[in-house]
Amino acid sequence: MADDPPRPPRLSEQDSSDTPDALPPGELEIRASGSRLRTSLPGTSIAVVICVVVLSLSHGVAGMLIGLVTALLALGGTLVHITRARVRTGGSTVTHRTFLGSTSFARADIGEVVLAPYRSTLTDRSVAVNLVALDQQGERLLRLGSASWQPADLERLAHALGPTPVVHTDVVGARALAERHPGSVSWAERHPVLFGAVLAVPLIVIIRVLLTTAAS
């Protein structure tokens, strides 16, 4: 018997993030959800363990150390993201803060807001709610996904940004979302196989250089 198709997350079923500090009337702030990120840790942990084991078997202690350092850097980046990432809107400005810094844009620049259950590839069975804000020329101003943010918070933000959001009820893929809302999806998502090949070449070169340096 075939597996049932994945059901798009229902926004009303999801809890919102922790209540932020008191804000002036008319302002809204949402924060990255640690509980959402923790749901992806088991799968990520398995991939990290496999990577470390493969590097250890092929390159001994040097490979194991490179794998462990990479895993620790990824974990540290995730923890910093959880504590810092937030979006605040109020007045005429929207501010998006991440661990890399903050970016802001004017609410008047927003031309379209999209809220859609999204599947990145045909073989990917996971479905995430995505919020996309595009400017008047179709350039992407903001994109958030429910892997890091509570779907209920994304819904609240979508309705607070200004334009009436376009809400999709059916699951859409990368190509379909790009066709309906040009600028909403990156080139890498529209061409995942080609992007993976392009990314793999320098990554393999870097790993080989590190392993050669460590072994010498």
Tell me how far apart the alpha carbons of residues 196 and 193 are, in angstroms, rounded to a whole number.
5
* Mean pLDDT calculated for residue range 64-79: 67
In order of 3, 17, 28, 212, the CA distances from 89 in angstroms are 41, 16, 5, 49
pLDDT in tens, 79-106: 666 677 889 997 889 999 887 788 899 9
pLDDT of residue 5: 47
- Return the amino acid letter for 167: V
- 110 pLDDT band (50/70/90 cuts)? very high
Tell me how far apart the alpha carbons of residues 99 and 78 are, in angstroms, rounded to a whole number.
9
Q: Taking the C-alpha atoms of 176, 181, 182 and 187 in order, what is their torsion angle to the nearest 10 degrees?
A: -50
* Mean pLDDT calculated for residue range 19-34: 69
pLDDT of residue 135: 93
Q: How far is CA 92 from its chain centroid?
A: 25
- β-bridge partners, 114: 132, 166
pLDDT of residue 191: 67
pLDDT in tens, 153-200: 999 999 999 889 999 988 888 888 888 999 888 777 766 677 677 777
User: Is the pTM here over 0.75, yes or no?
Assistant: no
pLDDT of residue 14: 46
Reported in sequence order, the residue ranges of 107-155 that DSSP labels E, i.e. its strands, are 110-119, 128-135, 140-145
Which pair of tokens denotes residue 53? 């084991």
